[in-house]
Amino acid sequence: MKLVFATHNHNKAHEIQALLNDQIELITLDEIQCFEEIPETAATLEGNAKMKAAYVVEQFNMNCFADDTGLEIEALNNEPGVYSARYAGEDRDPEKNMALVLEKLRDKSNRKARFRTVISLYWEGEFHEFEGIVEGEITTEKSGAKGFGYDPIFKPENSEKTFAEMDLTEKNTMSHRARAFEKMVAFLNAEA
């Protein structure tokens, strides 16, 4: 079955592709010749995910899914949340975003955080939603060169490594995106 992943982020597509079984053929926005930046102007992760999926449905009339992920830090009232990608500005610079988080947490002892991914799946005429959460903490400095986004400063619970210190296989055993995607795959397998 063909399924469009509404993203231009090749890192995300690579992570998801590693989780797919042979029955699902993942197609990215680039492969369907959709090169626009799909608006993400909703106030919630759920709203952004559905907005992106709905755009693909309206423009291309294909089954698709979109996700939105936020880093939610307890001591910062769950910031950056829906603004995670552009926390330090519209240029979406991961280095600036991490620096801002570390600066805001400099004098805080509570470093609890979680990554939350919401997937909106449009399948055969209906929208479905799936959520994945991984609890953890923000480290005091960056560590690791793998992954992307906030991975160098996020250490999941029960781990001594940041996401950026893990290889993709290890990260996929516990990541928020993997957890949400597993729920979606289970749904699709039941539908197929």
Please confirm, yes or no, whether 151 is among the known catalytic residues.
no
Per DSSP, what are the bridge partners of residue 69? 117
Secondary structure class of 60 (helix, strand, coil): helix
Out of 22, 30, 68, 107, pick the active-site residue.
Answer: 68
Which positions are annotated as active-site residues?
68
